[in-house]
Structure 1
Amino acid sequence: MNGEPGSGPDPSVHQLRLLLVLAEELHFGRAAARLYISQPAFSRQIRRLEDHLGLVLLERSTRRVRLTAAGEALLPRVRAMVEAADRLREAVRAQAGTLAGRLVLGCYITALPVITTLAERLRERHPGLDVVLREVDFVEQTTALLEGRVDAVLAYAPMPPGVQTLPLATERQVVCLWEGHPLAGRTSVSLAELAGLPVVGSSPRVARVWRDFWAADPRPDGTPVTYTAHEATTFEAGISAVSRGLGIRFVSASCRELFPRPGIRYVDVPDAPVCTAVLAWSSARRDTPEVAALRRVVGGMVGMGGTHPNPRWWHTEHTESEGD
């Protein structure tokens, strides 16, 4: 590196974004994969950033990557510059009076039919907006939002702090049981009758508030739930474990119609709380043009009925709320 620190050309906002991601991942391969670029290209940009600044920002070894003291000191200012660039871009779009750009809308498999309808309406109203659909799992439905990898998701509540939601519909919960279980032939069971049956475990990276709700943990009498050793992150992984008699899972009632599977039975649980389908977005991005447009479109669709094979997705009045 030549010259006095800071005497070189100004770094690009793109390079600063790469540094922020690398500071979170502390791994060049994971950081590059997260941004869908090759690792060599990612590494070259970070090197150029260090050359521009005249500083070593990272300590690299075959075992790990970590920020130097200079990198740590500059990180808050780097983050502020990237956020300022984002606000400038949003202001330019607002002044232009047109909505053009890219909206990444996430969902997991149970919402795929309705998300297609929603994407079509967005494209009709904002033809200049590139709407990208991306399937997310139980971890990504919140982490992808908070990390800015998706703009919004269609999922089920509850959501953690930092995520706002627009309720779309409510429905009952059911329990998914192995077909050979003594309770599988029943039309309904109570939470008390399910006491002691292990719930298929979720990944520790799943938001705790979401995991607890979908395991009814603790039960109404205060009893904590026992979990299997699984670390499921998807609907299919969970019911696969159920089909082998390894545990139970609580799911939305619409799964009975949408996902019949050999080896399992869905049984009503009348005393389980209702579940709520929501549109969710990061609180920090609530008023970006793309998210604001999405909220308006979804608000106009709520209560219409007939837009999804299971119209319960659209049967509630909508009010925005912050994740608990």
Structure 2
Amino acid sequence: MSPGRGTGGTREPSLHQLRLYLVLAQELHFGRAAARVYVTQPTFSQQIRSLEQRLGVTLVERGGRGVRLTAAGQALAEEARSVVDAMARLRQTADRHVGTARGRLRLGSLGAEAAMPHAQTVLAHLRDRHPDLEIEVRNLTFVDMFSTLLTGEVDAAFLRGPLPGGIQSLHLHTETRVVCLPADDPLAGRDTVTLAHLADRAVVDMPPEVPRAWWDHLTVNPRPDGTPVRFGPVVRDTEAMVLAVTQKQAITFLPSAARHLYPRAGITYVDCSELGVSTAELAWLPDNRDSPAVTALREAAHRTLRQA
């Protein structure tokens, strides 16, 4: 494809692809754009190529360290923004004509977060006040917990902090954190341990798509004495994380609720005050904050907090 010469695209672009293209139009760099929405660069590039094929026109000139929008790409960026904004207005206008929120709320949940008591109370309030709102809960992995929000695949999500910039949130709950150890580990019989006790233990690691700052914070890397954490196997979700511990490949750190949510033969949970606390957050994008479904969700969350 040459700039400005279409090849007769026959499929309509998706709203998801248009959102990704708008990020690329701002960053003018595939790596930075992919990092901004927390997807891999090959995945991001594939989506842009698919968009070009669907439209039948070249949007960007690739080469060197960055990209440049073609003349068609510059013109279509303005139209893409109009489409994305118009879709948001369409949803808001439709829902303003009913007394309660309707349609569908696409809600993400990192692992078992939606099963936590505070989350269940929020959802109960939401269903009671908005019975016509269809609530679709999608299980998120460590890999897509932030990217699904940033690309609009979910409207809001139950996550664990700290959250990256560009995401708004409401703090729902705070709890202590614990160490997950193999049951036959010499430290497993203790009531509490310190980070110094764990210095020689490998800790499960995250895939490269997960923001490094998030996992370094949760693993206290480096440790207070400056020693870097020794990382072990890479896991994509909490089940795989716990499995790695049962197989004695590594240890991990989890919210204290894991004692009840992830009880497994072959592991034990031990307190460690140096890990600090874990925060449960209801998260959404600023652009979605005032959409009817997210507004209803936020109101239900505020009601839960007032009654706590």
Same fold (TM > 0.5): yes
Question: Hey, what's the Cα distance between the residues in 1 that align with 2:218 and 2:235?
Answer: 13
Superposed CA deviations along residues 97-139 of structure 1, whole A, max 9, x for unmatched, are 5422221011133223244553343232123322111111112
Q: 1:248 to 1:303 in 2, by over 3 A?
A: farther
Query: How far 1:56 sits from its partner (Å)?
Result: 5.2
Cross-structure match for 2:271: 268
Cross-structure match for 2:302: 299
Aligned length: 278
2:18–2:84 contact (8 Å) kept in structure 1: no
Superposed CA deviations along residues 228-262 of structure 1, whole A, max 9, x for unmatched, are 1x221101111111112111100011111221111
Superposed CA deviations along residues 273-316 of structure 1, whole A, max 9, x for unmatched, are 111111111233222222111111011012645xxxxxxxxxxx
- Structure 1 gap segments, 5+ residues each: 33-42, 60-65, 306-324
Residue 214 of structure 2 is aligned to residue 222 of structure 1: no
1:201–1:231 contact (8 Å) kept in structure 2: yes
Question: Hey, what's the Cα distance between the residues in 1 that align with 2:14 and 2:221?
Answer: 42
**Aligned partner of 2:209 among 205, 209, 215:** 205
1:20–1:75 contact (8 Å) kept in structure 2: no
Q: 1:22 to 1:95 in 2, by over 3 A?
A: closer
Question: Hey, what's the Cα distance between the residues in 2 that align with 1:296 and 1:217?
Answer: 36
2:193–2:271 contact (8 Å) kept in structure 1: yes
Query: How far 1:48 sits from its partner (Å)?
Result: 6.6
Question: Hey, what's the Cα distance between the residues in 1 that align with 2:251 and 2:175?
Answer: 19
Q: Secondary structure at the match of 1:160?
A: coil
Equivalent residue runs for 1:24-35 within 5 Å = none
**Aligned partner of 2:134 among 126, 130, 143:** 130
Cross-structure match for 2:255: 252
Superposed CA deviations along residues 41-95 of structure 1, whole A, max 9, x for unmatched, are xx7x976743xxxx45599xxxxxx998355434522431222213421441364
1:157–1:278 contact (8 Å) kept in structure 2: yes
Cross-structure match for 2:18: 20
Cross-structure match for 1:187: 191
Cross-structure match for 2:24: none
Question: Hey, what's the Cα distance between the residues in 1 that align with 2:52 and 2:78?
Answer: 17
Q: Percent identity?
A: 36
Q: 1:46 to 1:18 in 2, by over 3 A?
A: farther
1:16–1:82 contact (8 Å) kept in structure 2: no
**Aligned partner of 1:149 among 134, 145, 153:** 153
The aligned amino acid for 2:80 is R
Cross-structure match for 2:80: 79
1:21–1:31 contact (8 Å) kept in structure 2: no
Q: 1:49 to 1:272 in 2, by over 3 A?
A: closer
1:18–1:46 contact (8 Å) kept in structure 2: no
2:202–2:251 contact (8 Å) kept in structure 1: yes
Q: 1:74 to 1:196 in 2, by over 3 A?
A: farther
Cross-structure match for 2:93: 92
- Structure 2 gap segments, 5+ residues each: 22-33, 35-40, 62-66
1:19–1:46 contact (8 Å) kept in structure 2: no
Cross-structure match for 1:171: 175
User: TM-score, normalising length from structure 1?
Assistant: 0.74
Q: 1:271 to 1:169 in 2, by over 3 A?
A: same
Q: Secondary structure at the match of 2:112?
A: helix
Q: Give the aligned CA root-mean-square deviation in angstroms.
A: 3.4
User: TM-score, normalising length from structure 2?
Assistant: 0.77
Question: Hey, what's the Cα distance between the residues in 1 that align with 2:176 and 2:219?
Answer: 14
**Aligned partner of 1:102 among 101, 104, 126:** 104
Question: Hey, what's the Cα distance between the residues in 2 that align with 1:26 and 1:233?
Answer: 18
Question: Hey, what's the Cα distance between the residues in 2 that align with 1:263 and 1:111?
Answer: 23
